[in-house]
Structure 1
Amino acid sequence: MRRILIVDDDQKTRALLKTYLEKNQYEVDLAHDGATFLAEFTRCVDELSMVILDVMLPDTDGFALCRTVRQRSNVPIIMLTASSDETDRVVGLELGADDYISKPYSPRELLARIKAIHRRTGMEAPAAPRYYRFEGFVLDTVARTVTAPDGEPVPLTGLDFQLLKYFVEHAGDILDRGVLSEGTRGRDAGPMDRFLDVQISRLRLRLNDGGGSPKLIKTVRGVGYVFSADVTSSHA
């Protein structure tokens, strides 16, 4: 369970955190004020693995929300504040917060704090599936192999396999070139970088998904690509 509810009144901050944490395999819900947060919290409290509270909100403050959360749940809490006053930190921790981050902070720092708390509280993510199945194909993430519907192995390079694995893990999501490049090669695609397009064309051929109308990896014009097959996963 890796679902996080964040309340922050700054729209850019909310959008940034949602994008960054979702890229790191977290499910993220957002609220812009206390009332919205409480409604969301009540709706999904049993599914949450973390709550992140901004101290300064337009209709209340993070301390009041922290107190309410602690009355209803033991879900871990991280508090965010622009104040450098140590009193804020002490109050938050005394009310039941698990950690405290002062603004400005980097999303990477927040992610590290989230992971540390999840490790400490035993809320690490469950083991990832070993097998992904789609249209008769079987992808084995441990053996790093792909088997065709006829039982024959599909010859893939390391980069081909990494790209296909990323696609099946994000089946149905529209992925732009930057996301795909970072997810498979660890760097953003430059504006003139056509290597990814070539790699996708090669992967289509390996999967017999070439021609004018690919059925597995579809192009979303002006945006990127989407893996459109139905994908199931399992540990065995």
Structure 2
Amino acid sequence: MKLLIVEDDKTIASGLEYSLKQEGYQVTICHRAQEAVEIIDTQLNTISLCLFDLSLPDGSGYDLCRRVKASADVPVIFLTVVDDEVNVVMGLDMGADDYITKPFRIRELSSRIKTVLRRYQKNNTQEKDSIQLGIIEIFPLEGKVYKAQLELALTALEYRLLMIFINHRGQVLSREQLLEMIWDVAGEFVNDNTLTVYIKRLRKKIEDNPQKPMLIETVRGLGYRMVAENVKK
């Protein structure tokens, strides 16, 4: 993992570089904001985390943080001698992930770096978790559904109905079972007749041909079933 460190105090920067390299990180050091801007603009996709001193001879760590966050979801930790609530809040409000006051112990900084990186890795993994349903892709953590990469506008009840079918794929669900599971979602009254309407609407949005559904089948006399082989996680 590559860290970008922007610190005008060359003694501190040298100590950080040595210690973090000992822990297996690749380290790029800048002593001025303009040097960092050039790296952010050309190499940000190679950087795993940024450590920015707030007070620099030709700029501010705040400006560098804004530049990073405007371009990519890369974590930023501020290094500063200032320890007051206003600066902490300002830094966190603009997207900084942590804030450490000088002087600090390298072990404390290392621990914070690892914590932030773990959090980002976990979030990125979760964001990538999706369910594939033919050309339909569902992101449960975001509550979003896409068809051929275009987001579908599903109501809360339609989304709930879709997730019920996915979570019971391959199973025949009776109308009574479906009504039980979607009862009063989004504060709407659902009865046997409105269930038919919602299934029709859902099919219209997710099926290529709603008249001949391939995803949500009608099992005559029993209910409905989502075809299991169409669903991939």
Which AA in structure 2 matches 1:90? V
- What is the aligned partner in structure 1 of residue 221 from structure 2? none
Q: Deviations over 1:156-193 (max 9, x none)?
A: xxxxxxxxxxxxxxxxxxxxxxxxxxxxxxxxxxxxxx
- What is the aligned partner in structure 2 of residue 8 from structure 1? 7
- What is the aligned partner in structure 2 of residue 74 from structure 1? 73
Distance 2:64 2:45 in 1: 17
Q: What is the CA-CA distance between 1:43 and the residue it aligns to?
A: 2.4
**Structure 1 residues without counterparts, runs of 5 or longer:** 124-236
Kindly indicate whether the alpha-carbon contact (under 8 Å) linking 1:82 and 1:102 is maintained by their aligned counterparts in 2. Answer: yes
Which AA in structure 2 matches 1:120? R
Structure 1 or 2, whichever has the larger Rg, is 2
Kindly indicate whether the alpha-carbon contact (under 8 Å) linking 1:31 and 1:40 is maintained by their aligned counterparts in 2. Answer: no
Q: Deviations over 1:123-151 (max 9, x none)?
A: 7xxxxxxxxxxxxxxxxxxxxxxxxxxxx
Which AA in structure 1 matches 2:104? Y
Q: Percent identity?
A: 38
The secondary structure found in structure 2 opposite 1:36 is helix
- The aligned length equals 122
Q: What is the CA-CA distance between 1:49 and the residue it aligns to?
A: 0.6
Q: Deviations over 1:29-77 (max 9, x none)?
A: 0100110011122221111110011000001111111111111111000
The secondary structure found in structure 2 opposite 1:25 is coil
1:4-43 to 2 correspondence within 5 Å? 4-43=3-42
Q: Deviations over 1:84-136 (max 9, x none)?
A: 2111110000000000001111111110000011111117xxxxxxxxxxxxx
1:1-236 to 2 correspondence within 5 Å? 2-122=1-121
- Report the TM-score when normalising by structure 1: 0.51
Distance 2:90 2:33 in 1: 18
Distance 2:89 2:101 in 1: 13
- Report the TM-score when normalising by structure 2: 0.51
The secondary structure found in structure 1 opposite 2:56 is coil
Stretches (4+) displaced over 3 A: none
Distance 2:72 2:12 in 1: 26
Distance 1:50 1:64 in 2: 16
Q: CA RMSD in A?
A: 1.0
